[in-house]
Structure formats: structure tokens, C-alpha cells
Amino acid sequence: MPRVGDFPRFLYMLSLTNTAARGGGRIIERMRRLSRMDGRELAVRIGQEVAKRSDLALCRLGVDLGPATVTRPRSTPKFFFSSEDLPATAAVLREALPDQAEATVAYARRLLNHRVDLLGWRGVDCGPVIDWSRDPVHGRRAPDEPWYRIPFLDFAAVGDHKVVWELNRHQHLVALARAWCLTGDTAFATEALRQWQDWQMNNPYPIGINWASSLEVALRSLSWIWLDRLLDSCPVRPPDFDAVLARALALSGRHVERYISTYFAPNTHLLGEGVALFFIGLLYPQLRPAARWRDRGWQIVLQQARAQVYPDGMHFEQATYYHVYALDFLLHARILAARNGIAVPRELDACIERMLDALCGLAQAGALPRFGDDDGGRLFDPRRNRPEHMIDPLATGAVVYDRADFKAAAGALREETLWLCGPDDARRFLGMAPRAAPPQAIRLDSSGIYAMSAAGPPRRQLFVDAGPQGVMSSGHGHADALSVQLAIGGRMWFIDPGTCRYVAENGERARFRNTAAHNTLEVDGVGQAAPSGPFSWRSTPAVRLLHWSDADTFGLFCGEHDGYSRLPAPVVHRRWVVGLDDGVWLVRDQALGTGTHDLVLSWHLAPFLDVRATSRSITRLEDDGEVLLLITPEQDGWVRTLTEGEWSPAYGVVEPAPLLRFSSRSALPTETALLLLPAARESAPRKGGLSYAASACGGCTAYRYRAGDSDRWMFFRDRPGRWAFGDWSSDALFLYAELERGKLRRLECVEGSYAEHGGRSIVNCGLART
């Protein structure tokens, strides 16, 4: 029997037993979590469990939990636009973004036939009558049960819950309303209102999967608000729409507040729920709880901006997509607050600007790297959910913070910016002179993202992930420590394959987030992190930065992780990256430890690349005349394999992509390297290539690339003190030397006091002579 003091914890455990049993024995994990809860969390969770059951009982008794009880509003709140602004906004959209305007109308025409774009799927047929509880992609339907009893992560029971929820976010209704604004064709507005009314009739509270996530309720509420404002002056708007909407928003706001994700998902879930409470409370002051919702929502926004954003500007989920997701939430809330005269703290503006700075710095070559999960949804236009769309917030940031460098990185106006900021600010953006920053190295210490840049044309940027796998259970982080990605001329060449989906029958979730799916080292067929369910890990690697140099013309990274310390014979993966301003990079990988191990280095390549093995040690990548040679030393024991891999450009979509792998069964310690060399279309090394050797005394390792009369030497110190290799000697951690016909043309020395070549001193006390 439990002790009296343990009774609340015991009561909560009992309340979870039924749900855990349905989930296939997750009761043990839930009990572990229970044991870690403090009194405040326990009280909140018990209160929510009791509320779930009381809500159901009240509804069965016929009590309306969301009556449109109203008070007289004391103010007239402002949305991003008014009905009087719509003609001017539509005119600027047609003038400045004609392709986008045309695409919106074309999509709306498909929506009239219930052909909806959902996540990565285009034109999904939802049938003549939309079943709001059905996954139309996989043909499975969630049961009509109280929302808290539905096992939404069980694919066999509900299909992919993400697909169901994406449809029920009602952002496609907003697309229909925007099409009405552009064309005046009431067929679009009529269809949007008909679907909205149908949803109200067929999703009674608290029954069904569409009430199972407070974030989904929040996002759907935001769509309803947009629908309300876009159709404010529409002639087919029903007379009772305001009253029905008030009741629907009252019920949704109550649900979000009652089941807010303070402890369930204190990440973008909590942030999005706070944004929705703020919007409902601010824009619908006639609702009795409006003032409370407005104030609580705004406080959540401010608190979560502090809690979720690292000092370096990156979001703490360690996922590019979630960074943009959180940034969208913060920008929308900040702009609406300012429009309504609510004081925006400097701390919030500084936080948002840091997030934009991080995006801008990582997009110097015109494309963002992908880290972690790709959620698939967006706050404004869910169809802009591909990697190339992740720089969208920079356009809005350029307007809000008057940043010409953000405009240069964004490149063009976005429709979202026009709707959020208005026609005048959109014209200001169009007239703003872009100011691109010169190529520069990026060091984001909190998130562990490091990037080296090379001037173009085309611009190039190489990224290394040397940060933590994530926060809490690292649910949206991937096992990608020390993974490398490469952008050239606005496109990613070395890619992160993405996410695929969160729930499936064939192991895609595990496959896409494991180590083999990333450009890093796999040892003995296991990943560097051990998974525990679809959104947690039993163990994650500790990544350590050993060195970083970021001079204007040269960069050096060195880091290692201990993810393979759990093996019977532990292995440490250490990776060096050398970057030169002419776009040449060397990636050196060391496997440190003892025993014999199976090693696999993966390089996932973009699907648009023409990839060919031109010799035993050279692989050629080409796109539109741009050529990159991947050159490896001709080492015994390492086998190159060029095969077909896979990547997921958007949630749910899997497409083929080239995969280059180097494998070896080797006694440790061992190493190899990959040289990335830009080349002209017809060029190839005339003689020589990349060679590798260790000094006789074991003090250093040297890589030498020869092409014609040119020599590039890269020396890595393997232990403290002096080292010698052939005609070279130094005490430098790293030494780079470039010679032409035997004459020294360039020297880079890192952490060294001297260097000699052929008995001649060329560096003394850190000063170089050429």
C-alpha cells in the first residue's frame, strides 16, 4: 500500500495505467517519469487528468463548455490588416509576386475539388465529403473516442497523425480566403466557409483525434482568425458566423489553457499555444476570459523566447526546421503586439534578431543546412515547407529591423511579409538596397554549429555539427555528431537526408535519424546514439570542441565525440576540417581506440548532382558546369562504394539520392581523409593526387596533394612537442604549405612557434616569411 504522502503520485499513476496499457506496455517508462516529477508538475498533471474526465462527463450531460458568453469590448483591436487594406494588399501581391498570386489561385481551384497539399504530399484527394478524422494518405481513420484515449502515435490505429492534424490545421481554408481576396470569386469563400461549418458539426468536443494536441487546437484557432479577417467584408459570409466563431474560439481557448503543454512539451508546443492564447485574448476581447488569455499568452511568449533560444541565436531543439518554426511564432506575436500598442521588451527584439542573425550567417551560400527533425508545417503557408523555404523569415526581419543584410540573404519579398507588415512596408522592402556581408566564418558555440565560407562565384559554405543532440530527451535531434554539410551557389551538395516521417510501419523514423543517414562515421554497424522510442534516446554522445580557427583566408576545426564509448572496445571519433578561401577543404577522420572495428564513412549527396567515379581515388560531382572533385588517399583497406541512397525533401516524401561510402575493417587507431577541390568542367589532376603518411617518429601526420607543379601540404601534430617530416619540422598543431615549382607561395601556421623547411626557418615566434 502507498503511504499517505505518496497518495497524489499513486493516484496519478493509476490515471495513466489505462493509457499506458493501450500503448503496449509504456507503463514502466511512465513510472520512471513519474518518479522524477516535483510537486508542482505532479499537481498540474493530476489536475489535467481529472479535467479530461470531468469535461467528458459534463459534455455527456449536455453542458456547453464553450458558450459564446461575451462582454462589451473596451477597445477595437487591430489585426495585421483591416478589411479596408485588402484591395491594396492584393494589388501589391499581384504586382510584386505575380507567380505567387497565380499559384495561390491555382491551388484554390484544386481545393474546390478537395485536392489538398499536406506536408510533403501534393494534391491529396480528401474525397467528396471530407472525413476530418481520417488520414487520406494512408487510408486509416482514428476512432471516435474521447481525445485522451486515442493512441495517436499508433500508426495501425490512426494512420499518420501528422497528416490528419495537418488537414485539420485549416490553413488550406486560409488559402481559399486569400484566393477570394485576389479574384473576388465567391466560390473560394463559399467553399472555405462550407468546410469550416462542416468541421464544427462533425468534431464535437471532446471527441476525436483533433482535440488530442493542444498545439493543433492552437494552430487551428489561428487559421480561424485569419479566415475571419480575410472574409470580413465577403458577401457570402453567413450572418451567424461571428457568433459561431466566438463560441468555437472560446472552446478552443479554454482547451488550450486547460491542457497547456507546460510539462508535456515545453518547446514549440508551449510557444505555439501561448501565441494562440495571446491572439484569441487580444483580438476577441468580448470573450470573458480574453484579458486573462491575452496576458498569459504574452507572458508565455516572453518566457519561452528566453528559455528556448540559445545565446548564439539558435533554437534549443538543435533542428533547423524547429528554429524557423519558433521564429515564425515569435515574429507573428511581436508584430501583432506592436500593432496594438503593447510594449515589446528589448529582450524579445534582441532574441528575435539573434535568431535572424543565425539564419543569415548560415545562409551565406544561399542555402541552409538541415539539422534534426523536419516538422513539415509552417505558420503562414504550409506549402513552403522545403529546405529552400527556411530563409523566408529573413524577408520579414529585414522590414521589422530595417536590416539590408537580411534582405540580401532573403533575396526577394515573401507573401507572408506582405500580409504581416502591409503594402507600405512591402514597398519599402522592394526599395531597400541589399547589403550582403562578405564571406565569414560562423561560430555558434551554444548549438555547436560551425561554418567556413569561401568567396565565389559561386559562394560556398561548409557546416559542421559539433553540438549537443538536443534538449530534454533530444526528441527532435538526430545522431549526427560531427556531420558535415556543404552548400554551393544556393544549393546543398552534401545533404542531410531529412526526417521522412514520425510514425510509420517500416522503420523509417529510426533509419532517417540514425548515424548512417548523416555525413559522419559509423562504427561496428551501430549509431553514435542509442534510440529509445521515436522521440527519445537512451544515450547521446558528448561532443567536444578541441580547436577552432577562423581567420579571413583560412579555417581549422577539430572536434570529437564519445558516442562509441559504450562499445566493448570503446572508440572515439575525431574529425578535423581544414578550409581555405579558394573553396578547398580537407576533412580528416580519426578512429581512436584499440581493437579491430568496422568503420563506415557516409557522404550523402544531392539528387541533382551528376556523380561519377573517375579513378580509384577521385569522385567527380557536377551541376550546371560547376565541378567538385572528391579525392581520397590511396590507402590499403578502405573501399569506396557509390550507390543509391535516399533523402526526404519534405515530411513523408522519400526520393533516391547518390550515396558515397568509404568502409574499412581496421585495427585502431586509424584514419582517412577527403579532399574537396573545386575544378573547371574539363579539369582533372594531371599527375599525383592525395597521399598520406605519418612521420617516422609518430609526431605528425601529413597529407600532400600534388597536381602538376603545385604541391599542397597539410601537417597535423599528433602529440605535444616538436615533430619532423621529411624536409619539414615544426611544433605547430597544424601547418599548411603551398608550393609552386618548389617555391613556397603560402603558409598557415596554427599554435606553432616555429617552422622549418629544408633547414631554412620560415616561421619564428609566429611570424611567417614566404
Q: Which of 549, 564, 320 is nearest to 450 (CA)?
A: 549
What pLDDT is attached to residue 301? Answer: 98
The per-residue pLDDT for 397 is: 98
- At 635, the pLDDT band (50, 70, 90 cuts) reads confident
Does the pLDDT value for residue 34 go beyond 80? Answer: no
Q: Which fold has domain 442-681?
A: Beta-galactosidase; Chain A, domain 5 (2.70.98)
* C-beta of residue 340 within 8 angstroms of C-beta of residue 290: no
pLDDT single digits (tens) 200-214: 999 999 999 999 999
Percent of the chain whose predicted confidence (pLDDT) is above 70: 93
CB contact at 8 A, 607 and 666: no
Whole-angstrom distance, CA of residue 582 vs CA of residue 496: 24
Q: For the ranges 22-31, 51-60, 193-202, 694-703, which has the lowest average pLDDT?
A: 22-31
Mean pLDDT within 613-624: 94
Residue type, 392: D
Q: Which long-range contacts (CB under 8 A, 24 or more apart) does 467-471 make?
A: 467/318, 467/543, 468/318, 468/540, 468/543, 469/318, 469/529, 469/537, 469/540, 469/541, 470/316, 470/317, 470/318, 470/319, 470/372, 470/540, 471/267, 471/316, 471/317, 471/318
DSSP-assigned letters across all residues of 261-299 = -TTT-TTHHHHHHHHHHHHHHHH-TTBTTHHHHHHHHHH
Helices (H), 203-237: 214-230
Instruction: Name the band, by pLDDT with cuts 50, 70 and 90, for residue 687.
Output: low
The domains of the chain are located at: 4-60, 309-437, 442-681, 685-770
Asked whether residue 3 carries a pLDDT value surpassing 80, the answer given is no
Number of other residues whose CB lies within 10 A of the CB of residue 532: 12
What would the mean pLDDT of 324-334 be, rounded to a whole number?
97
C-alpha grid cell, residue 529: 546514439
The pLDDT score that the predictor gives to residue 38 is 79
Mean pLDDT of the chain: 92
Greater confidence (66 vs 494) lies with: 494
pLDDT score of 28: 57
Of 118, 128, 192, nearest to 159 (Cα)? 118
Starting at the earlier edge strand, list the strands of the sheet with 767-768. 723-725, 728-730, 754-757, 760-764, 767-768
Give, as one character, the DSSP assignment of residue 201: H
- The predicted-structure confidence for 454-507, as pLDDT tens digits, reads as follows 988 899 999 999 999 988 888 899 999 999 999 999 999 999 999 999 987 678
Cis peptide before 458 (omega within 30 of 0): yes
Q: Quick one: 33 exposed, middle or buried, by C-beta within 10 A (0-12, 13-18, 19+)?
A: middle
Please state, in angstroms and rounded to a whole number, the distance separating the CA atoms of residues 44 and 211.
Answer: 19
Type and span of the H or E element at 123: strand 121-125
- Mean pLDDT to the nearest integer, 663-686: 84
Sorting pLDDT into bands at 50, 70 and 90, what band is 18? very low
Q: How confident is the model at residue 10 (pLDDT cuts 50, 70, 90)?
A: very low
Q: Please determine, for residue 21, whether its predicted confidence score (pLDDT) is greater than 70.
A: no
- Closest alpha carbon to 410 in 419, 90, 242, 426: 426
Residue 16, C-alpha cell as written in the block: 495513466
Q: From CA 197, how far away is CA 474, in angstroms rounded?
A: 39
Spatial contact of 600 and 659, defined as CB atoms under 8 Å apart? no
Residue 386 has pLDDT above 90, yes or no: yes
103 class by beta-carbon count within 10 Å (0-12 exposed, 13-18 middle, 19+ buried): middle
Of 688 and 726, the one with more pLDDT: 726
**Of the given ranges (267-276, 521-530, 704-713), which has the lowest mean pLDDT?**
704-713
d(CA 708, CA 717) in angstroms, rounded, equals: 27
Residue 764 scores a pLDDT above 80: no
Which of 97-111, 164-178, 686-700 is predicted least confidently? 686-700
Q: Given pLDDT bands bounded at 50, 70 and 90, which one contains residue 69? A: low
**What confidence tier does 24 reach under pLDDT thresholds 50, 70, 90?**
very low
Q: Are 417 and 391 in contact (CB under 8 A)?
A: no
Q: CB atoms < 10 A from the CB of 70, how many?
A: 16
The C-alpha cell at 760 is 631554412
